[in-house]
Amino acid sequence: MEQKVKCDKCGMKIFIKLKKQQKGDLEYQYFTCKHCNTSYVVSATDPPLRREMQRYEDLVKQANALAQQAQELLQINVKRCREIMDQHPLEL
C-alpha cells in the first residue's frame, strides 16, 4: 500500500516510493518529492544492524508459526474435550 505524505518544503502531496542507496557499508532508504526534489532519509543501516533486523524478522516468523500451531492444537483439544463429554456425560 502506497502512503501519501505532504512535502515539508513545497507542501505538495507525494506518494512514498522508497529508494536505496549504498555508501560503503551503510545503506540508506529514502524518498524524494517529485515536485521540488527534496529528499527524506527514512533509515540508515550498517551490516550489524541489518543482521539484527533479519534476526528480528526470523523470530517474528517463528513466533507466528508457533502461534498458528498453538491455535490448531487448541482446536483439536476443544474438539476432543467435547467428544469426551458427549461419550461420558457427568451425572450429578
Q: Are 27 and 20 in contact (CB under 8 A)?
A: yes
Q: Per residue in 68-92, pLDDT tens?
A: 999 999 999 999 999 999 999 999 9
d(CA 40, CA 86): 64
Q: What is the pTM of this model?
A: 0.69
- What cell was used for 75? 482446536
Query: What residues does 32 pair with on adjacent strands?
Result: 39
Average pLDDT over residues 54-81: 98
Query: What residues does 43 pair with on adjacent strands?
Result: 29
* CA geometry: angle 15, 40, 33, nearest 5 deg: 40
Answer whether residue 1 shows pLDDT above 70. Answer: no
- What cell was used for 81? 474435550
Query: Residue 2: what pLDDT?
Result: 72
